[in-house]
Structure 1
């Protein structure tokens, strides 16, 4: 009988180049200490029995037979149909995958799935490992995303990431500011559907060559910022560029104009997380954001995955 198999992938945060990473900008991204596992158990029942857990609480359970995998519906609004399509595309890449279709699967997220830390990308990377296919190839078959999230899923240290057409370049980097004890990640409480935002942005036929160069440069400058004041200036410049492209105010302008420090949207603007840098102590920060109705504030050391050997 087959042995049980276990796979794990790291979550992600895109620190720079949101949106423009889709157009080839150099981005800075970090894997998170939060992630998702996939356990695959041989089963006596034909088909796939899928159970999904979030912080040890089951939130999803369903069964898939072979026909549902080979002919998934076009509606990806449900997790079941997305997973069916994901498995189908993995089969296209590796026809020997799922021979003897009888498995029980468990996925376990160790974070709130509404946080936007990569519940989909970690799943894609885990399925790619199970199917023994390239995760970037599998991603391209089910998403329009850049792939930085897949790169984070596979990395234990911050990375520089760039995509030109279908070619992906990634490199481990040292991103661990001396003032990282002043950096926090604030959950904004509005889960964004990243795939929808990606498709809307890619539908635009605009020339962003200048902005791509500027954002790529800022990614490197942020990596090298030695002083908090320089870090803040880079964040402000980055926010201004993306604000102009999207024709919407920055997060700080819109909701935190009296905040002392820098605030940067991460990922799709309008939801998920923001990165905060301030001289305020944690109690002052906590009180400030709680007064705005926001209570999830995570310190750098509790969010970013850093390889101690690399430091």
Structure 2
């Protein structure tokens, strides 16, 4: 892990966030007194970015193991949010215990030791088969299919998908040794920037809703403007990656589209449960999953595209 290069990149982000914070402060001073939904939301997003940058910087300074442990904690918190919003029975307790304290740690351990074959199948194969068995031994058939599917979905989204972020550190890309951490930086900057840019473009020019039943704030104009802007940003960041500028743009386009579609999927689940947010861990932004839903859907695609096309 090339810490100085990562730190320089994060320092640039701190500078950008400083400008954004000052701009938000000036806009707040010039706005009319009282609540302002747009400025409040923008300020909450900026604050969330500050937290993310400092936490990531600390983890990168501590080394690859710290990065893996950070995302393991993120997965734990996200899985807890997911399970909290899904009905469970006493018969599910063993399966849930295994999910939190066996499957989750094992998935991240596999990412740490670079055992890709087992890492890729632990949850979608063994977890898919073993966890229902752990629930069925109690002989409780009530809503069994729904209960089992919810646990499996929770593991897939919050553990399997998110674990692909630190797994980027294990890729052996020719000519890119020691710089794998920059792949994480690239992924998070592009995906999270796309979310912010979609919000800004939507507020400025949004007229047509993409899926009003799922997310009343997502517009066609916001989607197009945000994805294209984030794609351009990805192309500008190509030197952080092993890609050419046009490859970085293509990667950025794919992950931002996956992030957007993933956000719709997670919104559908929230609407099904009758809630606005997954939790209240992050002030003004709900829970962990509210901030990482797009990352969860984009990380595995980014990881596998990079592994398939850029590793021996």
* TM-score range relative to shorter protein: under 0.3
Higher relative contact order (CA 8 A, sep 6+): 1
From the two aligned structures, give the one with the greater helix fraction.
2
